[in-house]
Amino acid sequence: MRALVSADALLAELRDDKVPVVLVDVQWSLTATAGPPGRELYAAAHLPGAHHVDLDAELAGPPGAGGRHPLPQAHAVEAAARRCGADNDSRIVVYDQGPSMGAARGWWVLRYFGATDVRVLDGGLAAWRSVGGPVTTEPPEPGAGAFEAHAGGMPLVDAEGAARVAREGLLLDARAAERFRGETEPIDPVAGHVPGAVSAPTTENLAADDCFLDAATLRDLFSRKGDLTAGPVAAYCGSGVTAAHEVLALHEAGIEAALYAGSWSEWITDPSRPVATGA
């Protein structure tokens, strides 16, 4: 099942109103310096009926040995989903302000904890506005969903598993190429990449309008990174956010990949783990 929905299709679906849709706003900024990242964006404009979910507080656990955005606790996801009005089998659409980085994290976390029908609004709020979709500044009343969080709904690897994928299959590094090569590291204290990983910047998966490339183009793009059938496939990034975007792109291309949730920010917490640099 495709995980993306176009703005046109969502607008038609909401107008049709045959099947209730739970709208989850995950507007978010990696570089925000004050307040919950995304809260002000949500307050300025969001889809009518959408509830905001805080990526840092509800779609990730506290930063530490598990990385900057480790997996959240099940109870945090459960409470957020219920507040949005979601059950496990609800039709959920997640979006952010544009390139779907935060939305992809929301898609992955909700799927991992037991949601069965989660899609991402391709192109986010920008695409929605481009087709005349309405926005509001009014938050809805809290929902009363019955979502029950159970881990294990999506493939996941830890540091040891990521190293094994790099040896036996294809481990994709979703960060910018210069970070992969170790030429610069603006966020984490150590530069470089997991030995054996292949550079596959998330930005390559997007068209100029910040929507995903079509499935055939994505599959061709990933097939040029390595053999997709020789072994397991997994993705990581700095902290597990843009890697979820990579997993989503792989899913659209027909490739089921695991997420290394701790990603580079966890990998480097153990000085015994090797670090590679260069192309």
Number of C-alpha atoms within 13 angstroms, CB side, residue 163? 10
Q: How far apart are CA 103 and CA 113, in angstroms?
A: 15
Look up 211 and say whether it is catalytic. Answer: no
Burial of 196 (0-12, 13-18, 19+ CB in 10 A): middle
Specify the DSSP element, H or E, that contains 264. Answer: helix 263-267
Q: What angle do CA 240, 163, 205 make, to 5 degrees?
A: 45
Q: 10: helix, coil or strand?
A: helix
Q: Which two tokens stand for residue 19?
A: 């099947």
Catalytic one of 118, 237, 257, 259? 237
Strand partners, 259: 156, 235
Q: Is 238 within 8 Å of 171 (Cβ atoms)?
A: no
Q: Which two tokens stand for residue 64?
A: 């530490």
- Residues assigned a catalytic role: 237
